[in-house]
Amino acid sequence: MTPDRDDPEGAIAAAAKECSNWGRWGADDVLGTLNFLDAAKRREGAALVRRGVSFSLAQSFGMDGPQKGWRRRTNPVHTMLDTGTDAALGTQGFPHGFGGADDVIAMPLQCSTQWDGLGHIFDHGRAWNGRAAERVVTSDGDLVTGVEHMAARVAGRGVLLDVGRVIGGGGELPDGFAITEEHLTATAEAHGVRVGRGDIVTVRTGQLARVRRDGWGDYAGGPAPGLSFTTAGWLHRTEIAAIATDTWGFEVRPNEFAHAFQPLHQVAIPHIGLLIGEMWDLEELAEDCAADGVYDFWLTAAPLPVTGAVGSPVNPVAVK
């Protein structure tokens, strides 16, 4: 069913009703779909380590990133507290020739490769599991579903759906391309890989390869390929634990309504309780998968347990 372009609110409400996981894991749940990622899934994932090669799926964290300051999202500012130049000059005040360098960072938690926490998005003032947004995230942070609760959980079976390579021309989907359930299914079939309960799904659109070649442009917030709003049912039905893309915003942009802002987020995070990753770098992994034809792997993507955070920078590591 195609949603009415002029009624995002109605479409969101319908999808939310259809896909809601509220109460599924009890009133106190703070994990959402991570509940699907269990010990059996971890055993299954670990068994996928065959060659022992590892891949970082993180973009760099630095001043050369894509952020433009919109909503105060800047690139990370990394500065030094002590340097080798100081150490070389011997003015650091340490004994026996000891020298040191230290550093500090100031960054939005959503500035580069990241997880969106469960407190990141609300629907009409409701957070994950039906909680009142104002009781969950205050100026003191996420008091209930902070990303620290996920610290030990995000390790399991990863799957790559290289939609850019299977569906796109030249390995890339164009900006504005809406990835539907059919595209996802066709890609999985082309890869010979199955997606199921507890999996961590990574979706490559190829946009990151394009901006690497052409410049960041509007990578942060502008037009992009991404998941169609209509995939909400698939995201819910497959019972995946998490999903991540190589784009800024996970879903297709411009969004598929006349006037809307990230409508799929509004269903996926507060209603499905889905862990969403953004700005992942899937390029090297995708090359390897294309080469050996194996699209599942062991994946650890441990968020930094910042107390009360609604998101987290992450360096996901895939091992095949």
Site residues (CB under 8 A) for a second copy, limited to 31-90: 38-43, 45-47, 49-56, 58-64, 69, 71-90
Q: Does 103 bind a second copy (CB under 8 A)?
A: yes
221-260 positions binding a second copy, by CB under 8 A: 259-260
Q: Does 202 bind a second copy (CB under 8 A)?
A: no
Hey, what are 11's tokens? 């479409």
Angle (CA) 285-280-14 rounded to 5° is 120
**Cβ 123 to a second copy, closest distance in Å?**
6
107-146 positions binding a second copy, by CB under 8 A: 107-110, 119-125, 127, 132-142
Q: What is the distance between the alpha carbons of residues 292 and 295, in angstroms, rounded to a whole number?
A: 9
Q: Does 148 bind a second copy (CB under 8 A)?
A: yes
Hey, what are 204's tokens? 């490559």
Q: Which residue, 87 or 294, is less far from a second copy as judged by CB?
A: 87
Q: Which residue, 168 or 303, is less far from a second copy as judged by CB?
A: 303
Hey, what are 241's tokens? 């634990």
Q: Between 265 and 284, how does the x/- string for binding to a second copy read (CB under 8 A)?
A: xx------------------
Q: Does 17 bind a second copy (CB under 8 A)?
A: no
**Cβ 1 to a second copy, closest distance in Å?**
18
Q: In residues, how long is the chain?
A: 320
**Cβ 2 to a second copy, closest distance in Å?**
17
What is the DSSP secondary-structure string of 134-197?
A: HHHEETTEETTT-GGGGTTT-EEEEEEE-HHHHHSBTTBPPTTPEEPHHHHHHHHHHHT----T
Angle (CA) 92-96-99 rounded to 5° is 35
